[in-house]
A and B are shown apart, each in its own frame.
Chain A
Amino acid sequence: MGFLKRPFLAFLALAALGLIVNFGFNAYIQLIVLFILVNCLLSMSLNLVNGYTGQFSLGHAGFMAIGAYFTAFTSSKIHFLPDSLQLLEFFVFIFGAGLAAALAGFIVGLPSLRLKGDYLAIVTLGFGEIIRVALLNMDFLGGPRGYSGIPSFGPFMVSFLFASVWILICFFTIWRIVHSSHGRGFLSVREDEIAAEAMGINTTEMKVKAFVLSSFFAGVAGGLFAHFTAFISPSSFTFLQSVNAVIMVVLGGMGSMTGAIVAAVLITALPELLRPLQDLTGIDLRMVIYSLALILMMILRPQGLFGGYELTDLWRKYVRRSA
């Protein structure tokens, strides 16, 4: 069971963090922390497609929406376990949400991944919009009125640990895959598709695999989001949400897992951190500042915060050397 050591340690660390937030901060900060976890999942999953495989997807919100609606519907309609095991039930439903999103990812990915660059971006964008329009028109899911009454996990600590488990599953799955010989295939597709093909790598298969796995975790993120807000509607899953996910990946540094996490924290927290500014200026300038920060960031540090490195690489590079 040696391979479980690191995830277990990471879980303990996250749990400790959760305890601090639980007792040290109010419900507002706690809610933001939960949204940060959802966005971490989103950015890590998109990082697999955008960062590692080099394919450009603009439809992540669509997969998130599928996951969210799947969870919302099943968890408020179906009960197959006793109440004491409800969390397990939620886990199963969120796994199902991931599978549903993965299936959608497969259907979208198979035909569209032979397109390149901007064309792929547009097709994924199109699929995202189609999913949103379809949700608007499904009356049993509430249409534009949204879906309310989604059961919550209860106290913050439970929600936090539940989400942490998924964060770890996502992190270590992607980490292990990318650092396996199989996963090098993803990187080879990003670096040079023709060379990769010449080396006998089935590039389309690689792309579809990355896309499906990425959709899976986007679906999971959507499922968690549904539980955290207890109410979802199609307006939560617009094109801007997909753009936000891309921003997190690029800001973190393409192909850096830890970068994606740090960027997710920043992007989620920044608009909230800027809230007090409104008391001073009287008008809401949050998004103006946010967009300016984004432009400056891209100009001053185009490789992203971590630029393809991981937190651990930087640790080795700077801290160990100076020691």
Chain B
Amino acid sequence: MHDFVQHIINGISLGSIYALIALGYTMVYGILKMINFAHSDVYMIGAFAAYYVARWLGIEAQPGIASLLMLILVSMLACGFLGFLIERFAYRPLRKAPKLNILITAIGVSLFLQYSGQVVFGADPKVFPEVMTDYVLLTFGPVELRSFDLTVLGVSLVAMLCLEFLIKKTKVGRAMRAVSSNALVASMLGVNTDKIIAFTFVVGSSLAGVGSVLVGMKYPKIDPLMGMMIGLKAFVAAVLGGIGNIGGAVLGALIMGLSEEMVVAYLSSTYRDAFAFGILIVILIFKPAGLLGKYSVEKV
């Protein structure tokens, strides 16, 4: 029984890591209807930015909440700026191009970041500085609840609520929704679509920055290809929850994390990824737009 509880805790903690990254995917998709394949590599750059700044400032010697916040801020700024650059120079020229082109460009950007990362940072893994000390919050027999698990879950839920608020309740958010439903009409009504889209990218990318520092704190190993696997999983999670839907991304990510955990625990660890994708396929076949996504019937 306590193993089961432990698996639940592990699964939720893994799921909340996916959630942080999935939010960025879903945010950009919701507004632009494009899969930003480079998102997971922006996340990687964020981790390296935090790593170098931490070493430069000598933060590794003084773990604490202040260092953590400081690094998150640095990483958000780096990622936000990078997201801005990518949007401005790679995606904006393609605004009117077919969707597949934008996708290929995104893949191009992703490969570019991965391989130039290997040239600039080196291919060997780096050890992320210890920004906080992990401690045990609660113990039930062999089951432990750790502060990092709770932090990551908390941050991803807060990020979700902030995004919901941003999109539903603010003026920028209304403009974003307008661009999402019809960019042309929105621009006729005085919305500066380029600005709004750039803003969306900056917000989505800075979320990747938050994720990168939290992941670095929890799993202190970073390398230029670190975004590949986690990015794919997070992206699948976003689709599972209904891509474009903020709450869906978090829900999908938690389901993804839990199902991976349970597959390893009770079925087979070698087939973990196959089962994870299998669950996705089954869900999509019965709910073609994901769990919380709206299936829009095309009108003529």
Chain A contacts to B: CB under 8 angstroms:
50, 56, 111-112, 114-119, 121-123, 125-127, 129-130, 133-134, 136-137, 193-195, 239, 243, 246-247, 250-251, 254, 283-285, 287-288, 290-292, 294-295, 298-299, 302
Contacts and interface: CB of A to CB of B under 8 A. Distances in A.
B94 A299 contact: yes
Contact of A112 (B35, B105, B270, B285): B285
Majority DSSP secondary structure for residues of B touching A: helix
A130 B272 CA distance: 10
A298 B94 contact: yes
A291 B112 contact: yes
B273 A112 contact: no
Given A291-B115, A298-B97, A126 B105 contact: no
A234 to B, nearest CB: 12
B135 to A, nearest CB: 36
B281 interface: yes
Indicate the member of A112, A134, A284, A291 with the most B CB atoms within 10 Å.
Answer: A291
A239 B232 contact: yes
Contacts of B132: none
A246 B104 contact: yes
B112 A133 contact: no
A298 B104 contact: yes
A194 B99 CA distance: 19
A290 B114 CA distance: 12
Given A290-B111, A299-B93, A299-B94, A130 B236 contact: no
Interface in B82-134: 90, 93-94, 97-105, 107-112, 114-116, 119
Given A137-B271, A285-B119, A302-B101, A129 B277 contact: yes
Interface in B219-249: 232, 235-236, 239, 243
Majority DSSP secondary structure for residues of A touching B: helix
A118 B243 contact: yes
B54 interface: no
B289 interface: yes
A225 to B, nearest CB: 22
A130 B108 contact: no
Interface string B239-265: 100010000000000000000000000
Interface of B: 29, 35, 90, 93-94, 97-105, 107-112, 114-116, 119, 232, 235-236, 239, 243, 270-271, 273-274, 277-278, 280-281, 284-285, 288-290, 298, 300
B288 A294 contact: no
14 contacts: A111-B285, A112-B285, A122-B235, A127-B277, A127-B281, A129-B274, A137-B271, A239-B232, A247-B104, A288-B115, A294-B108, A295-B105, A299-B93, A302-B98
Contacts of A288: 112, 115-116, 119
Nearest to A51: B100
A295 B243 contact: no
A250 B101 CA distance: 7
Contact of A291 (B94, B111, B273, B274): B111
Q: Which 5 A-B pairs have the closest CB atoms?
A: A126-B277, A294-B108, A291-B111, A291-B112, A287-B115
B101 A298 contact: yes
A130 B97 contact: no
Given A118-B243, A194-B300, A299 B90 contact: yes
A284 B102 CA distance: 27
Nearest to B37: A243
B99 A117 contact: yes
B94 A302 contact: yes
A106 to B, nearest CB: 15
A115 B274 CA distance: 20
